[in-house]
Amino acid sequence: MTAILEVKAASAAYGQIQALRDVNLDVYEGEVVALIGSNGAGKSTLLKTISGIIRPTNGEIRFNGAPIHQEQTHVIVKSGLVHVPEGRAILKRMTIEDNLLTGGMYASKHDTPHLLAHVYDIFPLLRDRRQHPAGTLSGGQQQMLAIARGLMAQPKLLMLDEPSLGLAPLVIKEIFGLIQTLKASGMTILLVEQNARQALRIADRGYVIENGGIKLADRANALLHNDMILQAYLGGA
Ligand code: ATP
């Protein structure tokens, strides 16, 4: 079986700063893959490079077998590779429904009502509040909206950048519960998290990134019991 996403020896830089070095990473259909690493390790840069926001300086990225590392972001989104960025990027003055519609802008007009209904079934609260400005939602609800907007783009692969960032423990639990539900529905997910333990508990496999390079790749369960990972990323517990 070939991977739905193949990152091969990808490097990226911000001017003189090398942010990714020779990164190799694969995601197979139906998997949840966690990408963990400390602040500044290169996690967001890797997602941005995959989604075409940053051009790799070297290497190759393939999605569904086709090279995408020279493609424009909108072409990549349309092909089913959807990035929910860190910080959510919600349009706070726009209504919740209009935020969702921006996510569905590449779907055919005919499909939009079905897509909206599907997303509202997963997130009933968003249906109830659909005419309210998105800025009236709590942080956790805005994160839900960001993920819901991603789903409107009909992802074949959903990349989530730090969905639990800045949220209270109970809300984090809800977000991970949602990711679990998406996983159970067969969604393929590449999950970037500082919250390494919870991410690895939900994931099938994990990659550890340090200083722009992949340090370790393994089954998530093996990483959860790896002494080095325990000490460095899981608080030694
Ligand atoms: P965090 O969890 O803090 O977001 P991260 O693992 O996602 O960390 P990146 O944001 O990918 O890390 O950053 C990787 C490296 O690239 C860091 O050294 C960072 O300072 C640098 N960097 C990130 N964005 C830029 C930018 N726009 N210009 C210059 N350097 C950048």
ipTM given for this complex:
0.94
User: 45 alpha carbon to ligand 1 midpoint, in Å?
Assistant: 6
Look-up: residue for tokens 């325990």?
Answer: 230
In the chain, what are the domain boundaries? 3-234
Kindly give the number of the ligand 1 atom that is closest to the alpha carbon of 37: 6
Pick the CATH number of 3-234 from 3.90.1150.10, 1.10.287.10, 1.10.150.20, 3.40.50.300: 3.40.50.300
Strands lying side by side in the sheet with 58-63: 17-27, 5-14, 58-63, 66-67
Q: Which residues contact 87 (CB under 8 A, 6 or more apart)?
A: 165
- pLDDT by 10-residue block (mean), the chain, 237 residues: 94 96 98 95 97 97 96 94 90 95 82 93 95 95 96 96 93 95 97 93 97 96 89 71
Task: Please state, in angstroms and rounded to a whole number, the distance separating the CA atoms of residues 192 and 198.
Answer: 11
Task: Sort 193 into a burial class: Cβ within 10 Å, 0-12 / 13-18 / 19+.
Answer: buried
Nearest CA to ligand 1 atom 3: 39
Nearest CA to ligand 1 atom 1: 39
Q: Residue 236 has what pLDDT?
A: 60
Task: Please state, in angstroms and rounded to a whole number, the distance separating the CA atoms of residues 186 and 164.
Answer: 21
User: 208 alpha carbon to ligand 1 midpoint, in Å?
Assistant: 16
Global pTM reads 0.95
